[in-house]
Structure 1
Amino acid sequence: MMLLKQYTGWLVLSTLLFYLLSVTQLISVLLPTLLAWGANFAMWHTLAASAKRQVSWLMVIGSASLLFAGSQGIWMTWQQVFAVNLPMLAMFVAVSFLDLTNSVDKKRQLPTGFSAILNTALGVQILGAVINLSVILVFADRMKAAIKLTPVQQFILTRNFSAAAWWSPFFVATGVALIYAPGMQWQKTLIPGLAMGLVAIIFSSIEAYRRTKGEFNGYPIQRESLVIPIFLASSVILFHFIWPSISILVLICLLAPSATILLMKTASRKQSLLHFVNHKLPQIGSQFALFLAAGIFSSGISAIILCYPAVFNLDSFTFSPLLFSFVLAGMILVGIIGVHPVVSIAIASPMLLPLNPDPTQLGFLFLSAWAISAGSSGLTGLGLLMTSRYDIPTKTIVSNSLHYAIFMWLLCSAVNWIGLGA
């Protein structure tokens, strides 16, 4: 057991490397699957009690559902149960490398005023789109300085960070959407997603200025810090255009670590990479556990649906704009009360796929549910981070953004109906 813990980071890294080999069909997908579950076992002790409970319940319910379905003659393949979210885990490992490109300037004075609000909102979305969750810690720790992070600073950070889920190919939400909406064309959601992200920035910035009258300490954005995220996002789009047969997920798994090694600023690349593998990668246990458990849970839900097709039969429905809006509202609501978006997506996908929805519209539904609920909830991962680390009450987080969630829900419904549904 101690030996397993000692090499946890290498297990995590091997999950990515052997997944890429399995894509080339040089090896079986069984090996990276075993590595992923081995890494999950090694990192289990690092999980918070609440995360352990959530993951355990997902596994118990999923396993019980699979056993019951098996007793009815419905069996799922081992890949459907244990490996369904493997591509997403590989992507998560790959984008974790981008943390090495992040730099913190603690000497510059915190800017104030409307421009500070706008730049902070824009910066956290663009940087968060590539560097992911670590950017929240960098921004929030710097902004609170010697005083407490304010509720207005909190919603500027969480809303706009989460809004990157609408358009960033490096966001885990994109990986989830690509898996649970088979056939989704990410490039078709890019422009609507960028528009939604821009609306989130403008809406939140205006609200923050009205509430603070400009008395807002923002983050000191440097232009050079935006170069890497823009370069990487552009690279994904370019390479996908050149080689459309290579999936977005695989492109990200290849580009993120490669670009990091080339662009990272450090005295010793070797030392920085070794420290990252040995000390940083073992800290992503909650993501591994959640996504592996969600795979079992999703397979269990799918098996139950196959057992009782008449009960879950939605043949009388079509994937209309009205159904899109209704399902999105439900997913946002359960997200706000603490259900992780990947869980609600895992439930919704097997129920909606028999309706033969347009894959891109279905993907946009999942991206929207993730972006809105993660930015408005005090009980999912991002909200819990704000509560535990920065003492922002859960009630404050929800009340701060309930109107935002309603507005963005209405806007997403309109975008789907007018733009994607045309």
Structure 2
Amino acid sequence: MSILKKYTGWFVLGTLIFYLLSVTQSISVLIPTLLAWCANSAMWHTLAPSAKRQVSWLMGIGIAALLFAGTQGVWIPWQQVLAVNLPMLAMFVAVSFLDLTSSKDESRPLPKGLGAIFNTAIGVHLLGAVINLSVIMVFADRMKGAIKLTPVQQFILTRNFAAAAWWSPFFVATGIALIYAPGMQWGKTFIPGAMMALTAIVFSSIDAYRRTKGDFIGYPIRRESLFIPLFMATAIIVLHFLWPDISILVLICLLAPSASILLMRTTSRRESLFLFVNQKLPLIGSQFALFLAAGIFSNGISAIILSYPQFFNLDSFTFGPILFSLTLASMIIVGLVGVHPVVSIAIASPMLLPLNPDPTELGFLFLSAWAISAGSSGLTGLGLLMTSRYHIPTKDIVTNSAFYAIFMWLLCSLVSGIFL
């Protein structure tokens, strides 16, 4: 185990590299799968007790369900069980490289007022859409200064960060949607997703101004700091248009690390990269553990459904606006009580796929569930970060965003019915 810990970052990096090689079919998918599970074992000790419990329950239930289904004659191939989320893990590693391009600004004064609300909301949204979770901590640490982060600052950050799930190809939610809604066309969700994200920004900014009367301390966003997120998002959209046969996940896995290395600001790229691999990559253990466990769990659910199709028969339903709306409401509610979006997606997918839904509409459902529940729950990843690091009570997170969640749920149902 000590050897595993020493080379943890290299196991994580190897997962990305050998996954890309497996896509070209030059090596077996077994190699990146083994590397991913080795990395998971090496990072297990870094997980919080609550994360260990959640992952253990997911894996335990999943394995038990798979074994029971096996006694009924239903066996799921090992590649499906152990490697179903491998593309998404590779994408997560690739996106982590974008942290190399971020910079902190400790010198500029903190802005105040309505302009500060909008700038902070747009800044955390665009930067978070590409660079992901580290942006939240950069913004929050700077905004709180010597005092505590306020509940209004909290929901401006978490709602608008999570809203990027609706459209950003770099967001983990997109990788999950592409996997659990096979055949989803990301390009078709981009416009309705961008509309939802813009609505979230405007709604949350007005809400913040109404609650604070403009007495809001924001983040000193700089225009030049938005260059990399806008460049990366534009590049992915253009490349996807030019080569539609190459999946979004593979494009991100190729572009994010290479562009990050070219655009990083450092005196020694070699030294910075070694530091990144050895110190930063080993910190993503919770994501590896959760998504590997979710793969086992979702396949266990699928195996049980295949074993007893008569009990999970939804043939009397059609995947239309009503079922979309009811399923989304259920996924948001379970998200509010602490069920991670990837888990609710893993449960919903095998139950809805037999209805032959439009893959893009199903993918939009999953993106919407992720964006709303992650932005308004106090018990999933973002909420727990705000509770543990910035001491925002869980009750405040949920109550402050209850109306937001209801409004966005209704709007999602309407947008899906009109556009998809």
Deviations 1:300-347 (CA, angstroms, capped at 9, x unpaired)? 000000000010010000001000000000000000110000000000
Residue 332 of structure 2 aligns to which amino acid in structure 1? Answer: I
Are 2:89 and 1:86 aligned? no
1:391 is aligned to: 391
One-letter amino acid of the counterpart of residue 316, structure 1: S
Counterpart position of 2:179: 179
Gaps of 5+ in 2: none
For 2:385 and 2:242, locate their aligned partners in 1 and report how far apart those are by CA, in whole Å.
39
Aligned to 1:280: 280
Separation of aligned partners in 1, 2:281 and 2:106: 25
Distance in 1 (CA, whole Å) between partners of 2:20 and 2:61 is 31
Q: Secondary structure at the match of 1:315?
A: coil
Residue identity opposite 1:284 in structure 2 = I
Q: Name the residue aligned to 2:242.
A: 242
Aligned to 2:321: 321
Distance 1:145 1:272 in 2: 28
Q: Aligned with 2:262: secondary structure?
A: helix
Shift in Å at residue 39 of structure 1?
Answer: 0.3
Residue identity opposite 1:391 in structure 2: H
CA distance in 1, matches of 2:358, 2:126: 28
CA deviation digits over 1:375-401, x for unaligned, max 9? 000000110000000000000000010
Query: How many Å apart are 1:252 and its aligned residue?
Result: 0.2
Distance 1:194 1:154 in 2: 22
Identity of aligned residues (%): 79
Alignment TM-score, normalising by the size of structure 1: 0.99
**Letter aligned with residue 180 of structure 2:** Y
- Compute the displacement of 1:418 (Å): 1.1
Match of 1:231 in 2: 231
Output the CA distance in 2 between the equivalents of 1:414 and 1:179.
25
CA distance in 1, matches of 2:405, 2:287: 25
**How much does 1:193 deviate?**
0.7
User: Alpha carbon RMSD of aligned pairs, Å?
Assistant: 0.4
For 1:204, give the aligned amino acid. S
Shift of residue 282 of structure 1? 0.2
Corresponding residue for 1:356? 356
Match of 2:24 in 1: 24
Q: Deviations over 1:132-175 (max 9, x none)?
A: 00000000000001110000000000000000000000000000
- The code of the aligned residue for 1:202 comes to V
Secondary structure, aligned partner of 2:343: helix
In 1, the alpha carbon distance for the partners of 2:236 and 2:150 equals 36
**Deviation sequence 1:188-229 (CA, Å, 0-9, x none):** 000111111100100000010011111100000100000000
Q: Which runs of 4+ in 1 moved over 3 A?
A: none
Report what 1:379 is aligned to.
379
The CA deviation at 1:4 is 1.0
What is the SS of the residue equivalent to 1:111? coil
Shift of 1:231: 0.4
SS of residue matched to 2:338: coil
TM-score by length of 2: 1.00
Distance in 1, matches of 2:259 and 2:337, equals: 38
Q: CA deviation at 1:267?
A: 1.1
Which residue of the partner structure matches residue 267 of structure 2?
Answer: 267
Separation in 1, partners of 2:114, 2:367: 29
**2: CA distance, partners of 1:283 / 1:360:** 33
Matched residue of 1:104: which SS? coil
Match of 2:217 in 1: 217
Structure 1 residues 48-81: Cα deviation after superposition (integer angstroms, max 9, x where no partner): 0000000000000000000000000000000111
Q: Across the two proteins, how many residue pairs are aligned to each other?
A: 420
Q: CA deviation at 1:419?
A: 1.3
Aligned counterparts of 1:314 and 1:80: Cα–Cα separation in 2: 24
Partner of 2:402: 402
1:189 aligns with 2:215: no
Q: Secondary structure at the match of 2:267?
A: coil
The one-letter code matched in structure 1 to 2:138 is V
Residue number in structure 2 paired with 1:75 = 75
Between the aligned partners of 1:240 and 1:117, the Cα distance in structure 2 is 33
Partner of 1:207: 207
Cα distance in structure 1, aligned partners of 2:45 and 2:269: 30
Distance across 2 between alignment mates of 1:210 and 1:12: 45
Quote the offset at 1:235 in angstroms. Answer: 0.6
Aligned-partner Cα distance in 2 for 1:41–1:4: 8
User: Which residue number corresponds to residue 298 of structure 2?
Assistant: 298
Unpaired segments of 5 or more residues in structure 1?
none
Q: Which amino acid aligns with 2:347?
A: I
Deviations 1:76-106 (A, max 9, x none): 0001110000000000000000011101110
The separation in 1 between residues aligned to 2:204 and 2:320, in whole angstroms, is: 30
Cα offset for 1:354? 0.5
Post-superposition shift, 1:243? 0.8
Instruction: Give 2:161's aligned residue.
Output: 161
Q: Give the letter for the 1:267 counterpart.
A: T
1:232-269, Cα deviation, whole Å (9 max, x unpaired): 00110111111111000000000000000010111111
Partner secondary structure for residue 325 of structure 1: helix
